[in-house]
Structure 1
């Protein structure tokens, strides 16, 4: 069963002056447990599509349903609350809060949900162990490498036990070793915890590990490839 249904989504920026068509009638279903890469040249609409699936940007036309909920039919406040409880985000620039420790960055999401402090602490520690950073609990972002910061960002994205995680160019600022470690960790979470990951990426290293590759060209789905295990690099 699809957890995400994108139907005939179009996005036009700057409509009143010189229109820019970022997406042109994209339709897509995402199943639970997928490890999917959305790829394509710069300007093909990858990040726009990810932002629309995540409710961060609104389509000009078309609908997005998450578990049969049309997210753009909600009020802004209800959509914010829906994102908080149902969608995890990992960004290229990590977006960690500089003055907070690794544990506090993860707990912050749970605190926004109104969870008890004891639960926030327990879940944060559990996640840091899951991503291999139990020894970095009290380190601030400036004291962590890029790869470690991105691992904290993944842990934060998983804090609320979301329906899926959207990762926008998560390896763009990482070296090869950090990228390999991050992707291995995400694959393990996908396989062992059935966490659904959807990537927007230029990185061939991500594409090589993906089980499904959706290629956008000029804002449209050009190809949609389900990949067999023998074609996937580990």
Structure 2
């Protein structure tokens, strides 16, 4: 019950934080289609993910814990504050690198794209759109990103901070906030950067979640503003149940097709 309350509390706090900001600094203030669908993903979908985390991903990561390094890589650093800061920084970098590679695979491997297409079906970018993700994809990417941190023996405190930072970042980069490009755009992802990734007609670019310089490093960066977002071709279902079943439909148009 406590875990379920944490899931719902995060959704409520995200709304309380970002909805007023979008009213002040956003572009889209008209009626929002699919609001209840995305609220369903944020609540019902979030609870399904939580159950999957407990029953499947948590058990798998616990199994990996037996293979973890006896001593964390940075255990030799005597200064606790420096060690703690470096642990969080290294954890973020590794988590983000694995996420970048998975994200590219999700656009290239048909089976993964079927799941990821659910996220791209949103036709409006705002804080609520960040929750539109298929539970199976969340479980897959969560295991992929957390497994290296477990194997390297990242302390629980640093690991928790990494997860919190990326969770907040996910809501932020989807939010409808007009943040102009500047020097910060080279270091940290902004809504403009990620909205371009959701462009309906553009080739898949901007795969990083937090560090846009990864896209520059791998040649997948695009600084252009986003056009219309969503899936190309025939629209996806607009209901929660329809989108949960969508990856198993006979025909899902390939990424970039």
Q: Tell me, yes or no, whether TM beats 0.5.
A: no
If asked which structure has higher relative contact order (CA below 8 Å, sep 6+), I would say: 1
Task: Specify which structure has the higher proportion of helix.
Answer: 2
Task: Specify which structure has the higher proportion of strand.
Answer: 1
TM (norm. structure 2) is 0.30
TM (norm. structure 1) is 0.32
